[in-house]
Structure 1
Amino acid sequence: QALLPTRRWFNTVLDDSHLVVHCYLSSLAKREKEGHLFCQLLDMLKFYTGFEINDQTGNALTENEMTTIHYDRITSLQRAAFAHFPELYDFALSNVAAVDTRDSLVKLFGPLSSNVLHRVASYLCLLPPLPEGEDSSHEKEFLLELLVSRHERRISQIQQLNQMPLYPTEKIIWDENIVPTEYYSGEGCLALPKLNLQFLTLHDYLLRNFNLFRLESTYEIRQDIEDSVSRMKPWLSEYGGVVFGGWARMAQPIVSFTVVEVAKPNIGENWPMRERIRKMAFNQIIECSFLESGLRKHDVCFLITVRPTQPYGTKFDRRRPFVEQTGLVYVRGCEIQGMLDEKGRVIEEGPEPKPRLRGDCRTYRVFLDPNQYQQDMTNTIQNGAEDVYETFNIIMRRKPKENNFKAVLETIRNLMNTDCVVPDWLHDIILGYGDPSSAHYSKMPNQIATLDFNDTFLSIDHLKASFPGYNIKVTIDNPVLQIPPFRITFPIKGGKGKKRKEEDGNEEKPEEAKTLTVEPHVIPNRGPYPYNQPKRNTIQFTHTQIEAIRAGMQPGLTMVVGPPGTGKTDVAVQIISNLYHNFPEQRTLIVTHSNQALNQLFEKIMALDIDERHLLRLGHGEEELETEKDFSRYGRVNYVLARRLELLREVGRLQESLGVPGDVSYTCETAGHFFLYQVMSRWEEYISKVKVKGGKLPDVTDVSSLFPFHQYFANAPQPIFKGKSYEEDMEIAEGCFRHIKKIFTQLEEFRAFELLRSGLDRSKYLLVKEAKIIAMTCTHAALKRHDLVELGFKYDNILMEESAQILEIETFIPLLLQNPQDGFSRLKRWIMIGDHHQLPPVIKNMAFQKYSNMEQSLFTRFVRVGVPTVDLDAQGRARASLCNLYNWRYKNLGNLPHVQLLPEFRTANAGFLYDFQLINVEDFNGVGESEPNPYFYQNLGEAEYVVALFMYMCLLGYPADKISILTTYNGQKHLIRDVINQRCGNNPLIGRPNKVTTVDRFQGQQNDYILLSLVRTKAVGHLRDVRRLVVAMSRARLGLYIFARVSLFQNCFELTPAFSQLTARPLHLHIVPTECFPTARQNGERPSHQIHVIKNMPQMANFVYNMYMHMIQSTRHYQQRLLPPPAMIEEPETTQTQETEVEGE
């Protein structure tokens, strides 16, 4: 039903058999407990049976079209009633709105007999006609339900969605059929939507993602509630109330709770526009820790009611159901508006100190969910249920990083309420239909023939090597002038050739189709100062990388699969730079999964010829940039204001050099008048004097002597003019004028910042008008879509890094951060760069991850559908031997030449016999893996072994920041950190490693040396996922040392390609302790020093301890030798002492 190819016939069969009606009337559906899952699945089937789509054409039906279908059904029923059933005249003559509800239809058709109902159904072709004289074989209940369900008024899908609360309640949070436990076994089915390869419509696509994102968030909320409430230890007091025997950092008891405002509904809605409530918390000591941790405006909190039945002192048992033990009754969400002062006003957030409040109580104002409030109040009034909002006794907050679900859900809901306009060339591919290669640049009708590759190529030889199989035709024959930058004209397949063939009857010759026309061109002189020279790319891209860059510059969808170390970021940055120079009027949006990837992109973008005033970074994380420049919104505003003052000072200097009176450097406007009336007039006069007249060149000295800006450029490297040729000197003069003109061009762009006075207005103008390259994370895009659309944000190109790590919906939202123009999207290019062989998006719940396939990214789905990809095939990160551990997972992944040539890759790892090794770790004190908490795995033997090896490396001279320790489980990560704190954390001789984290968290990062702990000794665990193995094996550049139970992992079939190489080397650690870092020994060469074989962890720990003590004693010995008696301090002895110290070191 949810796939168009099968739906076309299956939905007809389903409708003819009336299966849904039969199921609703079955005994299983009427059993409340046993039939609960069955009814949920049946509701999903009914929903898709009546989905808003034309089964034959596959086109989505609008609300008006669905209403027309409904009216046609009702009117056909009324015509049948009028013509053949006199007892239904009242129904036949009524208006549709009066009779199309379920209650009305049951009331009208309920009194009729089974035979009459059968005749009505047969007249409508729902059942075969009844033979004369025979009674209907169908039960009256079935016939009545068939007619009613067929003709009752349908609720619009959008209306249903808009009436849905965004916050989960206790009914959803602990429903195992909707939100299964973390330990879902994979057996049986669940009432969950699935993310397949194909979707019915964009509405269906968004709806499935909306529901799954909401339920995944609900699962995380459930974990937080269970953790916080169990820590608070709610018990039944002696007086029948609630007493809390513990405390939680993320939760706080509530004293009182009052609804202060219920706003009127908007026109056409039946829920309040908003509700505001205030609540008060007590116990200032605990409350301070709760508030100071970051309860801010727009934070989402949860209001909880608990009515425990357990007496004071009862221990919490994690094996028993949580709700039953704690007596949890209600859960409702809310959004913080702010804390109130003593006069009942919201205390605004800002740099100003907050007022001191007296007493122990604090009052907060929060917003409730209006849909949920309406449902609760309706239930209270109609059914006499308890007023939920008078019962809350706990408020719980969550970590801000994990608490953005409401904003994302609102964004998805807003998208479903608007006409989603995706480009025509993307629509079918996103839904999974049509030709998957239709959006490739080679099939796009607007393919660009000539592209300026700017500084992509380092030489003409580099260009020729980048296009194997092509004939290169250079427009300039002189080899000396064949230097970059190059402009390349490609043979266009499709549109142009087809048209020529139809018009002229000529076909393109094969040699023409494989010929590239290369035009070297010179970048115009930008000025006489050294900083005027453009920054250039220094990377010699491979031919595959060049193909990725070429595809990214063309219109359409570009998919780049980048294995570890293949230069994905360098390719992305070069594409951005080339788009910036080829299409200066276009704007490019950069989206990544993490702030770290965004920082890496920005650091490399700054190294290329891109004006930094056109760069903008939205969101947080810019503080981690390894640069002093601030690319955030307000950082760029400050840069523009500072740059404006700097340029106005240059204008003042130019004014003084020309001897012009007045204060022309006061504002951008006065500077503009100065340029027009004083600078341009002088330049035009100069050009008229030195231009070629009558084919005769002026004297070379005139170019310099008549130049009007000599005094201004007096601080430039002299002489400015060479005096060798007229053309060269004229180019220099024009370069000087370009420098001056650029000053006034920038001032004209900055003029708006003089007129806009507030920082907010300036930052908005910067985002909408000034910035050409805008970067943000996918989460920020989802959170801020409404604000960006409101501002009129526009862009032409999207580049996504880490695409395979981004959730499907978070990949889709950035496509719609702008309003369409005349009903069409202005998006021209979508470049996705990622690696689907590495870890997918993080989904904590196994049921959503595997059953609903929520871990599938849009990038991975496109690869599975068959969208063409550019597979980068040469890595330059790791030694060739280390690359072999994971290159079997990729197509033809080789090594770049520098991996074989650079000294750091050719020399051995000091102190080690091998550059990688698998080290077997047996039980320590009879214990292998342990599990202090469920699924919190630790292995003390491996933790101690890893830290001992880290200390050994530091003692040999390895820099601690070049070593990272990884593990596959959070429990082991915390254990290793504890061991480091105990053994060497505060020791200045050793220090701490660069990172101690999990493999999953370290994806996208690298280090020279990786120590990896695999933890498990009883079962392989989640390393069985080959994608996690690839990430683990590919983080190291020079050395990888893995600690594991070899007998367990070598028998795992999925891991065989990597572990067969690892087990080919000895499984005991082989070290060369007499070597120091760095060593001159070549990799693979047998050391001349003695090799020590370490057989277990205690031996390694003792060895490191003895080595450390020996080093300490040696250091003391040298220090004593370096301290001569005071009377014997002479110059020769000082020199000798220094030499001795060097030798000792």
Structure 2
Amino acid sequence: LMKYSLSLHSQYLENYLWTNYSPEVSSKAYLMSICCMVNEKFRENVPAWETFKKRPEHFPFFFKRILEALLVENESEYSLHEQTVLLLFLDHCFNSLEVDLIRGQVQQLISLPMWMALQPNRLEQELKKTPKLRKFWNLIKKNDAKMDEESRMQAYRERRFLSQLIQKFISVLKSIPVSGPISMDKVHYCERFIELMLDLEALLPTRRWFNTVLDDSHLVVHCYLSSLAKREKEGHLFCQLLDMLKFYTGFEINDQTGNALTENEMTTIHYDRITSLQRAAFAHFPELYDFALSNVAAVDTRDALVKLFGPLSSNVLHQVASYLCLLPPLAEGEDTSHEKEFLLELLVSRHERRISQIQQLNQMPLYPTEKIIWDENIVPTEYYSGEGCLALPKLNLQFLTLHDYLLRNFNLFRLESTYEIRQDIEDSVSRMKPWLSEYGGVVFGGWARMAQPIVSFTVVEVAKPNIGENWPMRVRADVTINLNVRDSIKDEWEGLRKHDVCFLITVRPMQPYGTRFDRRQPFVEQTGLVYVRGCEIQGMLDEKGRVIEEGPEPKPRLKGDCRTYRVFLDPNQYQQDMTNTIQNGAEDVYETFNIIMRRKPKENNFKALLETIRNLMNTDCVVPDWLHDIILGYGDPSSAHYSKMPNQIATLDFNDTFLSIDHLKASFPGYNVKVTVDNPDLHVPPFRITFPMMGGKGTKRKEDGNEENTEEAKTLIVEPHVIPNRGPYPYNQPKRNTIQFTHTQIEAIRAGMQPGLTMVVGPPGTGKTDVAVQIISNLYHNFPEQRTLIVTHSNQALNQLFEKIMALDIDERHLLRLGHGEEELETEKDFSRYGRVNYVLARRLELLREVGRLQESLGVPGDVSYTCETAGHFFLYQVMSRWEEYISKVKVKGGKTPGVADVSGFFPFHQYFANAPQPVFKGKSYEEDMEIAEGCFRHIKKIFTQLEEFRAFELLRSGLDRSKYLLVKEAKIIAMTCTHAALKRRDLVELGFKYDNILMEESAQILEIETFIPLLLQNPQDGFSRLKRWIMIGDHHQLPPVIKNMAFQKYSNMEQSLFTRFVRVGVPTVDLDAQGRARASLCNLYNWRYKNLGNLPHVQLLPEFRTANAGFLYDFQLINVEDFNGVGESEPNPYFYQNLGEAEYVVAVFMYMCLLGYPADRISILTTYNGQKHLIRDVINQRCGNNPLIGWPNKVT
């Protein structure tokens, strides 16, 4: 691997291998070298095909040579190890269909003509099923007849390639013995081959015709009966891969149309298979007469089928199979060449009843058990090198159906969280030091903060199953522990909340008292760990044995150290364990637990997220039609761009986006700007812009007048308009945007305001957040009836968004923040649910006081400012009537304008506005004063409008009801993190939460599935999704989602965010291209990664960007630190890397900067290892942490 890696970094492939490649020099060594380098590029996750795209002329010949090499029978030419490398290369090709060069070659292998390899009667059967295919088939035959001999032979070779490869694999598989020594090269070849088959089956373009060929070869049956599948140790991974392949060969999808099959359609297919078997039996096999006349449910189980077909001879079984077009017919008097075991398995596996995918999923326990946690093929160790293959699903560019999409993500997320659980269990249990006591029990020699020995455990309730289910509705148990520990740790245990997940563990150590724990030895054998089961806290019990309910009241203080928790167990797991105990006499797991372990709440939300995904798969999740194919990776990637949307909006109000008419003109280079008013003094924002309609439906083209069309297509009609006066007080003036956006930022804002999918790629410092906030503001003003959901990866990003939203003209009663991050907001205002409820209640009292003041000023008796309802009557009968009377006196009658003095003279609310800046009326012109009077009335009307909105809060008494009302009715802009959305989806849907637009920040850092879930936080209306816009802002060149385990990260490609996948598929993006954060020389370090990233003018002009940094010769430098006291990098614990010399050096640089006058809170120290982070913090603590002149930097992370 090291050699490959070095060759890769020295660009051996680019600068030597491919540059000099031609058919003349194509030797075996040359071929293998190129394949190894491409495989290595894929292993390291770097683009592999760029070199080939630059010089594509020899690629077809090279690919042909690979295919020939893969079919070589003689191992002296290409050993199996070498062929495995070639198989892996071929697999990478099939997984790179987005590359035109690769697709051109691979297409020949997997298109309809590959059905040539089917046996003739099976081919006939398939063409009968889909009549239009026969037309294509005849066309293929006609074209073949026109080819010359050599081309035809080449075409035949390509079409039969995969079926010949399958036959070759079966011969390798059959050469493996049941016991005795075994060639691991053969095993690896078989594993990689199944991986290739899996990848072909899991992609619609490759599966479409290949699935029939695979079915016709009976590969899965051959594999299940093979010796390798029976070898427990060597065949373990092979069997796991085989189970996945079996699952995908029977996947619920129509191979031709790509539509997902419903439960009813799957049942119909199953019944058709059984009845065609019964018809064959009735017509030709009198010995199967009973079978032919039985009902389907009586004969479609495995046991029933084996009982019926088991007694028949091999020849009869072969004849049954040939009637079903599974095998070629036998000639007269000829015996079958197949073994009876194979023929029986072929018929049984094809006709047995299958459990539906959704049923399998619903019966699956959500918590991992010890069998999965320590299975290296499913949950590999941290340092997976990328050489072997694993029994894990992959996230590539395309998925078969939404069910497949959710299922792959479900499995990967489940296993990825299992890996973290394994680390936590190993850490806690090893700290507790379980040893074997003299009496044969367990004694704990240590202690752990996150785990406690269990005093007693009892199952207290097993509820009856729901109708149609065979597992209990719920299972509850009581766990008692003794908290004889420090108060701070006791508080943590007592602070366990409802829905927190804990793990129940059984250990039976064999090590005597005092044995040291060795982290480098296998964990399970050392600690004697036997069982792991998950549970969910319902609550702690009080002295009377009742669950202490969570609420605003403080929890009661309990006496003593014993604490009992009521927990929910997983009903599916409980059912499996009990069945195992009763049927197989296994011990009862639930009587053995001796440790309970908790986890950090922040990292412990896996169960809620898995439940959310499972619920999504059980509902008919409706993704908007315009997004469906893009999410699955098919169709035209630009089909959801606003220019192709049928409901594109022609005229948009850009509100305060533009600072001036010149800014507007600069923002649309290449367009003619036509202003509707001629007076230049009126060319002031805000502007409404009418765009020429692009590419959507309904555009007509003249045949001759092209010139006129293009001229028209490049003209913007700009209409300046005045925001109506909102009242005489200074706070009535709207807040305005002050940022002069660049033309690409304006394009991003325009795209975000239009319906459809908008993707904005924002390099560091290009104003991503400003663009996001402006889009939110413009949507809020253009579509006041719509609601926008903001989703980010981190609470910090939400806080930045909120702080900027506050600076724009958005009424804060329409803002709401869900989740736990609001306490970090650097504003005095609280945007959480209860914070908003308190704001509304306080605002209600404030407005009612204003109503009281208005009542006094008008001299109306009574207590009208008591409730919102009385205030509403007051507005209707007293305020509105006075205003209507006033308007009738001062309006223009019969073309005659009243005098300026009348506007002020008849105004009924002078006394109320006495506290506004005077004079309220300017007395210069009728129009101006009339607008001021209208503004004053708008101010009054707004008070009563808000009170009408707040009226529900008088009727709803509890804080919970009020907060729900706020979420569902009042808030227009709702923000949450993606994790919160995933955890709370069920609650939000039950409340009837609705939204029209989604804006996602940091979307390149969010896991694929966590990006998808926010699309489905609402129930569809009449079978359609309400969603109109999806705006994703991110940067796929920066941090991908954090996946701790290398295998999931690289092999399963779990670190690919949905944003990155869309970019790879070719969804159009707006690339922001001007940064204003770093000086130009620093920007040059990374701007090669982006499309034309430049600098904003202030980076070139301001002195802090142009002058040198005091005390530093260079803007950036790399420093090599020699070994300190003879020690370089050290590893005190496995994978915990430290380097003391470098830590001392970096802290010395920090102190030097502080002494030069750099403020410490403007300096951050970043490192790549956790171990080094802790070491740097220790060094700062020792050297300068307590020094008032220096102190601590802003962040060490």
Q: How does 1:101-500 map to 2 (within 5 A)?
A: 101-276=301-476, 278-286=477-485, 290=489, 294-495=495-696, 497-498=698-699
Output one character per residue of 1:137-177: Cα deviation in whole Å (capped at 9) or x when no partner.
Answer: 11110110000000000110000000000000000000001
Structure 2 CA distance for aligned equivalents of residues 247 and 853 of structure 1: 38
- Using a 3 Å threshold, how does the CA distance of structure 1 residues 581 and 257 change in structure 2: closer, same or farther? same
Output one character per residue of 1:1020-1070: Cα deviation in whole Å (capped at 9) or x when no partner.
Answer: xxxxxxxxxxxxxxxxxxxxxxxxxxxxxxxxxxxxxxxxxxxxxxxxxxx
1:185: Cα distance to partner? 1.0
1:188: Cα distance to partner? 1.3
More displaced stretch, 215-224 vs 922-931: 922-931
More displaced stretch, 334-343 vs 245-254: 334-343
SS in 2 for 1:122: helix
Q: Retained in 1: the 8 A contact 2:643–2:696?
A: no
Q: Retained in 2: the 8 A contact 1:166–1:406?
A: yes
SS in 1 for 2:984: helix
More displaced stretch, 945-954 vs 546-555: 945-954
1:909: Cα distance to partner? 2.0
Structure 2 CA distance for aligned equivalents of residues 726 and 91 of structure 1: 98
Q: Retained in 2: the 8 A contact 1:252–1:287?
A: no
Query: 1:892 corresponds to which residue?
Result: 1092
1:353: Cα distance to partner? 4.0
SS in 2 for 1:510: helix
More displaced stretch, 966-975 vs 328-337: 966-975
1:81: Cα distance to partner? 1.1
Structure 1 CA distance for aligned equivalents of residues 769 and 280 of structure 2: 68
CA RMSD of aligned residues (A): 1.4
Structure 2 CA distance for aligned equivalents of residues 706 and 496 of structure 1: 54
1:361: Cα distance to partner? 2.2
Pair 1:667 & 2:867 matched? yes
Structure 2 CA distance for aligned equivalents of residues 775 and 307 of structure 1: 48
More displaced stretch, 445-454 vs 87-96: 87-96
Count of residue pairs the alignment pairs up? 991
1:888: Cα distance to partner? 1.3
Structure 2, unmatched stretches of 5+, are 1-200
SS in 1 for 2:241: helix
Structure 2 CA distance for aligned equivalents of residues 41 and 153 of structure 1: 22
1:253: Cα distance to partner? 0.3
Q: Retained in 2: the 8 A contact 1:252–1:281?
A: no
Structure 2 CA distance for aligned equivalents of residues 918 and 359 of structure 1: 59
Structure 1, unmatched stretches of 5+, are 996-1145
1:287: Cα distance to partner? 8.0
More displaced stretch, 120-129 vs 279-288: 279-288
Structure 1 CA distance for aligned equivalents of residues 629 and 575 of structure 2: 39
More displaced stretch, 682-691 vs 591-600: 682-691
More displaced stretch, 76-85 vs 907-916: 907-916
SS in 2 for 1:187: coil
SS in 2 for 1:329: strand
Q: Retained in 2: the 8 A contact 1:836–1:859?
A: yes
Q: Retained in 2: the 8 A contact 1:637–1:763?
A: yes
Output one character per residue of 1:499-526: Cα deviation in whole Å (capped at 9) or x when no partner.
Answer: 586x999996110000000000000000
Structure 2 CA distance for aligned equivalents of residues 368 and 31 of structure 1: 35
SS in 1 for 2:1118: strand
Structure 2 CA distance for aligned equivalents of residues 792 and 360 of structure 1: 44
SS in 2 for 1:507: helix
Pair 1:516 & 2:752 matched? no
- Using a 3 Å threshold, how does the CA distance of structure 1 residues 627 and 364 change in structure 2: closer, same or farther? same
- Using a 3 Å threshold, how does the CA distance of structure 1 residues 898 and 485 change in structure 2: closer, same or farther? same
Q: Retained in 1: the 8 A contact 2:672–2:716?
A: yes
More displaced stretch, 1-10 vs 359-368: 359-368
Q: Retained in 2: the 8 A contact 1:797–1:830?
A: yes
Structure 1 CA distance for aligned equivalents of residues 211 and 1165 of structure 2: 55
1:956: Cα distance to partner? 2.3
Q: Retained in 2: the 8 A contact 1:721–1:732?
A: yes
Structure 2 CA distance for aligned equivalents of residues 365 and 758 of structure 1: 27
Q: Retained in 2: the 8 A contact 1:657–1:711?
A: yes
- Using a 3 Å threshold, how does the CA distance of structure 1 residues 507 and 788 change in structure 2: closer, same or farther? farther
Q: Retained in 2: the 8 A contact 1:840–1:857?
A: yes
1:558: Cα distance to partner? 0.2
Output one character per residue of 1:640-699: Cα deviation in whole Å (capped at 9) or x when no partner.
Answer: 000000000000000101111111111111111111111111111111111111111110
Q: Retained in 2: the 8 A contact 1:497–1:507?
A: no
Structure 2 CA distance for aligned equivalents of residues 823 and 356 of structure 1: 51
Structure 2 CA distance for aligned equivalents of residues 241 and 802 of structure 1: 52
SS in 2 for 1:53: coil
Q: Retained in 2: the 8 A contact 1:249–1:289?
A: no
Output one character per residue of 1:341-389: Cα deviation in whole Å (capped at 9) or x when no partner.
Answer: 2211112234444334344422111000000000000000000000000
Compute the TM-score of the two structures, normalised by the length of structure 2. Answer: 0.82
1:281: Cα distance to partner? 3.9
More displaced stretch, 910-919 vs 734-743: 910-919
SS in 1 for 2:921: coil
- Using a 3 Å threshold, how does the CA distance of structure 1 residues 147 and 289 change in structure 2: closer, same or farther? farther
SS in 2 for 1:884: helix
Output one character per residue of 1:519-561: Cα deviation in whole Å (capped at 9) or x when no partner.
Answer: 0000000000000000000000000000000000000000000
SS in 2 for 1:42: helix
SS in 2 for 1:252: strand
SS in 1 for 2:828: coil
Structure 2 CA distance for aligned equivalents of residues 73 and 34 of structure 1: 35
Structure 2 CA distance for aligned equivalents of residues 724 and 956 of structure 1: 61
Structure 2 CA distance for aligned equivalents of residues 617 and 672 of structure 1: 30
Output one character per residue of 1:834-883: Cα deviation in whole Å (capped at 9) or x when no partner.
Answer: 00000100000100000000000000000000000000000011111111
Q: Retained in 1: the 8 A contact 2:505–2:532?
A: yes
Structure 2 CA distance for aligned equivalents of residues 436 and 704 of structure 1: 61
1:282: Cα distance to partner? 4.3
Structure 1 CA distance for aligned equivalents of residues 218 and 448 of structure 2: 54
Structure 1 CA distance for aligned equivalents of residues 608 and 486 of structure 2: 27
1:953: Cα distance to partner? 1.8
Q: Retained in 2: the 8 A contact 1:471–1:516?
A: yes
SS in 2 for 1:774: strand
1:324: Cα distance to partner? 0.5
1:906: Cα distance to partner? 2.8
Q: Retained in 1: the 8 A contact 2:687–2:719?
A: yes
More displaced stretch, 626-635 vs 922-931: 922-931
Q: Retained in 2: the 8 A contact 1:497–1:508?
A: no
Query: 2:63 corresponds to which residue?
Result: none
SS in 1 for 2:539: strand
- Using a 3 Å threshold, how does the CA distance of structure 1 residues 669 and 728 change in structure 2: closer, same or farther? same
Higher helix share: 2
Q: Retained in 2: the 8 A contact 1:589–1:799?
A: yes
Structure 1 CA distance for aligned equivalents of residues 484 and 937 of structure 2: 68
- Using a 3 Å threshold, how does the CA distance of structure 1 residues 505 and 270 change in structure 2: closer, same or farther? farther
1:98: Cα distance to partner? 0.8
Structure 2 CA distance for aligned equivalents of residues 311 and 496 of structure 1: 79
Percentage of matched positions with identical amino acids = 96
More displaced stretch, 837-846 vs 928-937: 928-937
Structure 2 CA distance for aligned equivalents of residues 487 and 783 of structure 1: 41
Compute the TM-score of the two structures, normalised by the length of structure 1. Answer: 0.86
1:968: Cα distance to partner? 1.4
SS in 2 for 1:281: strand
SS in 1 for 2:655: coil
Structure 2 CA distance for aligned equivalents of residues 294 and 949 of structure 1: 42
Structure 2 CA distance for aligned equivalents of residues 213 and 2 of structure 1: 18
1:495: Cα distance to partner? 3.9
Structure 1 CA distance for aligned equivalents of residues 719 and 1110 of structure 2: 50
- Using a 3 Å threshold, how does the CA distance of structure 1 residues 873 and 506 change in structure 2: closer, same or farther? closer
Output one character per residue of 1:221-280: Cα deviation in whole Å (capped at 9) or x when no partner.
Answer: 00000000000000000000000000000000012111111000000000000001x444
1:907: Cα distance to partner? 3.2
Structure 2 CA distance for aligned equivalents of residues 83 and 766 of structure 1: 70
Output one character per residue of 1:463-484: Cα deviation in whole Å (capped at 9) or x when no partner.
Answer: 0000000000001111111000
Pair 1:850 & 2:1050 matched? yes
Structure 2 CA distance for aligned equivalents of residues 144 and 409 of structure 1: 39
Output one character per residue of 1:106-165: Cα deviation in whole Å (capped at 9) or x when no partner.
Answer: 011111111111111111111111111111111110110000000000110000000000
SS in 1 for 2:1004: helix
Q: Retained in 2: the 8 A contact 1:37–1:190?
A: yes
Q: Retained in 2: the 8 A contact 1:113–1:140?
A: yes
